Amino acid sequence: MTPGRILVVDDDPWIQRIVARALGQRGHQVSLAGEATGAFVVASKIKPDLILTAISLPAIDGWAWWERLRTLPACADAPIIFLLSDVDESTTISGAGPRDQRLRKPFRMEDLERAVVTAFGGGKVNTLVGQPTAQAETTDVKPSAGHRPLSALRGALDQLGLSSVLTVLEMERKSGILLCERESGVARLFLRKGRVVRADSDEPLLTGAAAVYEALSWRTGTFDFLIGDIGGIDDIQSSTTFLLLEAARRVDEANEDRRLGTIKSKI
């Protein structure tokens, strides 16, 4: 697929960053806007090949904002991927074209990429992509207002590395459980306001910072972030930046040990 110019319009900065990072890693030129007026300005400048947008933005002069956007020559032919929250699913999308798609939040990274590939002519158009909003129970997350924690972000570690996910969660000061899973085991990272406060992993059986370093070494598997308030003490007491740097140092040290071991075996 040839990289294209993509305009992302959403008033959630977290969605903006996640989508921009994921699509930027695929070589696309991603531009962001948080509201309709800014989207008009950016769209006129970049002439997008594709638009991803939330549908809950305010109407303009009685028009849905994307209908007004389609009147711009720069956007007349650009397909749109509508990003729907739970409350948007029953909304009638007026003016939708045959190449437009709907992607349900929260979405997996592979669902996002599939929708983008389809929009660029690489597959059959789907009217609704993605899984229903997942709900999960865990004793370590305190539900707010009587609700179970929601799965806010899912993806594959080979598409969006754990270090990138932790960086975004820290910037957005998110609280919840980050579940990382591969065939050999599961790692659980508990975040409070963006910082990892506890962690544990199966196979190998680890806790604390050691479990974080283990998860950061995974190159394959999946991740799933569940939003919720995290109680208890801070067992790790380190910033995300420190954990990432220390994990990188350990990888470098292990690589050096292997290199020296190889040299000694040849002597």
This model's pTM is above 0.85: no
Give residue 124's pLDDT: 53
**91, 122, 153 — which closes off a domain?**
122
Distance in angstroms between the alpha carbons of the first and the last residue of the chain: 48
The sheet with strand 5-9 has its strands ordered as 29-33, 5-9, 50-54, 80-84, 101-104
The answer to the question of residue 159 being in a domain is: yes
Look at residue 214 in the predicted model and tell me its pLDDT: 93
Domain count of the fold of the chain: 2
Residue 40 near residue 60 (C-beta atoms within 8 A): no
3-state secondary structure of 105: coil
* Measured CA angle at 235 (ends 229, 236), to 5 deg: 100
CA distances in angstroms from 50 to 11, 23, 29, 57, listed in the order given = 18, 12, 11, 18
* Residue 53 in domain: yes
Specify the pLDDT at position 141: 43
Looking at the chain, list the stretches that DSSP marks H as alpha helix, in order from N- to C-terminal side: 13-24, 36-46, 65-69, 109-117, 162-171, 208-216, 240-266
**CA 146 – CA 242 distance, rounded (Å):** 35
Q: Rounded CA gap, 139 and 135, in Å?
A: 13
Same domain, 180 and 235: yes
195 and 231 fall within a common domain: yes
Q: Taking CA 109 as the corner, what is the angle to CA 165 and CA 229, rounded to the nearest 5 degrees?
A: 45
28: its two tokens? 């696309």
Range of the domain at 39: 5-122
146/220 same-domain check = yes
Does 110 share its domain with 176?
no
pLDDT in tens, the chain (267 residues): 678 999 999 888 778 888 888 888 888 999 998 888 888 889 999 999 999 988 877 666 656 777 888 888 888 889 999 888 766 665 667 666 778 898 887 777 888 888 999 998 865 545 444 443 333 333 344 443 333 345 568 888 988 889 989 998 898 888 888 999 998 889 999 999 999 999 999 878 999 999 999 999 999 999 988 888 888 889 999 999 999 999 989 888 877 767 777 766 666
Query: What value, to the nearest 5°, has the Cα angle with vertex 216 and ends 215 and 219?
Result: 90
Residues 102 and 170 in one domain: no
pLDDT attached to residue 123: 54
Q: Is residue 261 part of a domain?
A: no
Residues 187 and 219 in one domain: yes
Q: Is residue 193 part of a domain?
A: yes
Q: What angle do CA 153, 198, 151 make, to 5 degrees?
A: 20
Which domain-ending residue is among 122, 149, 166? 122
Please report, for the domain that includes residue 62, its CATH number: 3.40.50.2300
Predicted local confidence at residue 99, as pLDDT = 82
Residues 10 and 116 in one domain: yes
Quick check: is 39 in a domain? yes
**26 shares its domain with 74:** yes
| 265, part of any domain | no
Residue 192 lies in a domain: yes
Distances (CA, A) of 98 to 1, 2, 80, 101: 20, 21, 10, 8
Same domain (yes/no): 14, 101: yes
* Residues 76 and 15 reside in one and the same domain: yes
End residue of a domain, out of 122, 151, 186: 122
φ/ψ of 149, rounded to 5, equals -65, 145
Give the integer Cα–Cα distance in Å for 158 and 160. 6
In a domain, 136, yes or no: no
For residues 72 and 38, state if they share a domain. Answer: yes
